[in-house]
Structure 1
C-alpha cells in the first residue's frame, strides 16, 4: 500500500507545471489505476501463459482453477477485495458457468482438453473468466472513485440487463434480438455519464463510450486467451485465427450486464444504509 501511495503521490499535479506535463501525469495515473484494477484478469492471463508452456502433469484446466481460487483467497486476505466484492465476483462466476454450459452444448466454442474439474464439457475455471470482468469493474469503481450521473431507474436498468443475459441463451432457439436490445440500450443510457477521479480532478465520460471501450479491450484479451488455448471457437481448431470482430458487441453487452449488476447493488446498499 505504501508503494501505491508513492506512485499516486509522484503523479499528483503541481500547479506550476506545464499543461503537457499535467496531461501526461493524468494519463499515467489513469493507466496505473486501470492496471491495478486488472490484477485478477492479469493473473488469469499469466496463468494461461504459464500453463501452456510449463508442461506439468496436472491438466491445464485444473491448474487454472487452483490458481484462480488461490488468487481470490490471497486478494481477499490482503485486503485487495472486500467481502461484498467477493460475493459479486461469485455471482459472476455462477452466471458465467451457466452461460458456458449452454454455449458449449450448442457448439459455440469448446474446451478440447481433458480435466478432472470438467462437467458437461465445461471446466469450472471458465466461470472465473466472467468473474474477472466483475473483479475489474469492482476494482475500477473503487480505485477511480466512480460516480454515476443520470443512472436509469431500476425499472429500466434491471429488465434491460436481464434481457441482454437471456438473449445470450435464447438466441440458440429464437432470433438474436441484440439489435433491438442495443437500440433500447442507447435510449436508456444515452444521458448516463460516469464521473471518475484522478487525484484532485474529476472527469466525465459517457456511459455508452465506456461500454464500447471496455468491450473492445476485452476482445483484445480474448484473442490472447484463445491463442493460449483457454478455449477455442470452431474456426480455430485447425490453427489459431483472430477472434471475429462482431464479438466486440458480445463483450460490450456482457460488460453492460456486469456494470448494471454492480451499479444496482451499490444503489441497493446505499439505500439500505440510508434507511
Structure 2
C-alpha cells in the first residue's frame, strides 16, 4: 500500500510541476510511441520476475524516443531548456535520495535492511527512471487532450 502511494505521488508531482513551470517542448515524440514504451515498461515490471528482464532495452528505447526532446520550463520570468531525458534522470535521482532517507528513518525497510541500514541499490534508481516514463506518459496524455504539446505554439516565445 505504501509503495502504491509513492507511485501515485510521482504522477501527481509531474502533473503539478507541468502546470507550475508551464512546460513546453521541442521535438515532442508521438504519443502512440510513448504509450508503446510505457506499456513495455509496465509489463516488464511484472514479467522480469519469471522471464527475461528487458530493462537495458527500455533504457535505450527511452534515449531513442526522448533523446531529441527538449523541455522548456519557466521557474521565474524566463524559460530555460533542458534535455527531457536529463529531467527524467534528475527526478529519478531525487526519488532515490528520498527512498534512502525513508529507509534510514525506518519509515519502511527492504529485505536485508532489518538488522542494519545500508543504501538502497542503484538498480532501484533505474526502476525509478522507468517509472518516470509511465507517469510522464499518463500526464502527457491528459495534457495532450488540453493542448497538443508537440505544436509550435507550445514553445516559449521570445
TM-score normalized with structure 1 length: 0.51
Paired residues in the alignment total: 148
Cα distance between partner residues in 1 of 2:60 and 2:25: 21
What is residue 98 of structure 2 aligned with on the other side? 221
Higher relative contact order (CA 8 A, sep 6+): 2
TM-score normalized with structure 2 length: 0.87
Matched, 1:151 2:4: no
For residues 213-267 of structure 1, give each alpha carbon's deviation from its aligned partner in whole angstroms, at most 9, with x where no partner exists. Answer: 1111100000011123333221212221111112111111111211111012210
Residues 1-275 of structure 1 mapped to structure 2, 5 A cutoff: 124-270=1-147
What is residue 108 of structure 1 aligned with on the other side? none
- State the 1:125 CA deviation: 4.0
What is residue 104 of structure 1 aligned with on the other side? none
Give the gaps of 5 or more residues in structure 1: 1-123
Q: Secondary structure at the match of 1:235?
A: coil
Cα distance between partner residues in 2 of 1:158 and 1:245: 26
Cα distance between partner residues in 2 of 1:255 and 1:246: 15
Bigger fraction of residues in helix = 1
Cα distance between partner residues in 2 of 1:180 and 1:125: 29
Give the gaps of 5 or more residues in structure 2: 149-158
For residues 171-222 of structure 1, give each alpha carbon's deviation from its aligned partner in whole angstroms, at most 9, with x where no partner exists. Answer: 0110110001111111111111111013321111001111111111100000
- State the 1:155 CA deviation: 2.1
CA RMSD after TM alignment = 1.4
Query: Which of the pair has more CA radius of gyration?
Result: 1
